[in-house]
Structure 1
Amino acid sequence: MKPVRSVEGRAIPFGQKNVDTDVIISAEWLKTISREGLGAGAFESIRAQEGNIFDDPEYAGASILIAGDNFGCGSSREHAAWALDDMGIKAIIAPSFSDIFSGNAFKNGLLAIALPQTAIDRLMEVAKTDPVTIDMESMTVTTPYQDRFEFEMDAFRQKCLMEGLDEIDLTMTNSSAIDRHEQKVDSAQPWHKPVPA
Structure 2
Amino acid sequence: MEPITELRGHAVPLAISDVDTDQIIPSEWLKRVERTGFGEGLFSEWRQDPEFVLNNEQFAGSTILIARENFGVGSSREHAVWALMDYGFRVVISPRFGDIFRNNSLKVGLLPVELSGQEVQQLLDIVTREPATEILVDLESQRVSVPGASLEFRFLIDPTAKARLLAGLDEIGISLTKEAKIRDYEQHRPPWTPSLLVD
TM exceeds 0.5? Answer: yes
**Residue 14 of structure 2 corresponds to residue 14 of structure 1:** yes
Instruction: Report matched runs for 1:22-61 at 5 Å.
Output: 22-61=22-61
Offset at residue 191 of structure 1 (A): 4.4
Return the index of the structure with the highest Cα Rg: 1
**Residue 148 of structure 2 corresponds to residue 147 of structure 1:** no
Show the counterpart of 1:174: 178
Show the counterpart of 1:78: 78
C-alpha distance after superposition, 1:48-94 (max 9, x if no partner): 11211011011000100001111100110000000000111110000
The letter of the residue matching 2:24 is: I
SS of 1:50 mapped into structure 2: coil
Show the counterpart of 1:162: 166
Offset at residue 25 of structure 1 (A): 0.2
Offset at residue 192 of structure 1 (A): 4.8
Identity of matched residues, %: 39
Change (3 A) 1:22 1:193: closer
In the alignment, the residues of structure 1 paired with residue 11 and residue 51 of structure 2 have an alpha-carbon distance, to the nearest angstrom, of 17
Change (3 A) 1:183 1:23: same
**Residue 98 of structure 2 corresponds to residue 98 of structure 1:** yes
SS of 1:72 mapped into structure 2: coil
Matched residues, number? 191
In the alignment, the residues of structure 1 paired with residue 49 and residue 16 of structure 2 have an alpha-carbon distance, to the nearest angstrom, of 15
Offset at residue 181 of structure 1 (A): 2.0
**Residue 131 of structure 2 corresponds to residue 131 of structure 1:** no
Offset at residue 184 of structure 1 (A): 2.7
Of stretches 27-36 and 140-149 in structure 1, the one that deviates more from structure 2 is 27-36
Show the counterpart of 2:63: 63
Cα root mean square deviation, aligned: 1.3
Offset at residue 8 of structure 1 (A): 1.4
SS of 1:190 mapped into structure 2: coil
Q: Point out where structure 2 has 5 or more consecutive residues left out of the alignment.
A: none
In the alignment, the residues of structure 2 paired with residue 156 and residue 127 of structure 1 have an alpha-carbon distance, to the nearest angstrom, of 31
In the alignment, the residues of structure 2 paired with residue 75 and residue 191 of structure 1 have an alpha-carbon distance, to the nearest angstrom, of 42
C-alpha distance after superposition, 1:156-192 (max 9, x if no partner): 111111110000110011112212222231xxx3345
Q: Point out where structure 1 has 5 or more consecutive residues left out of the alignment.
A: none
Moved over 6 A (4+): none
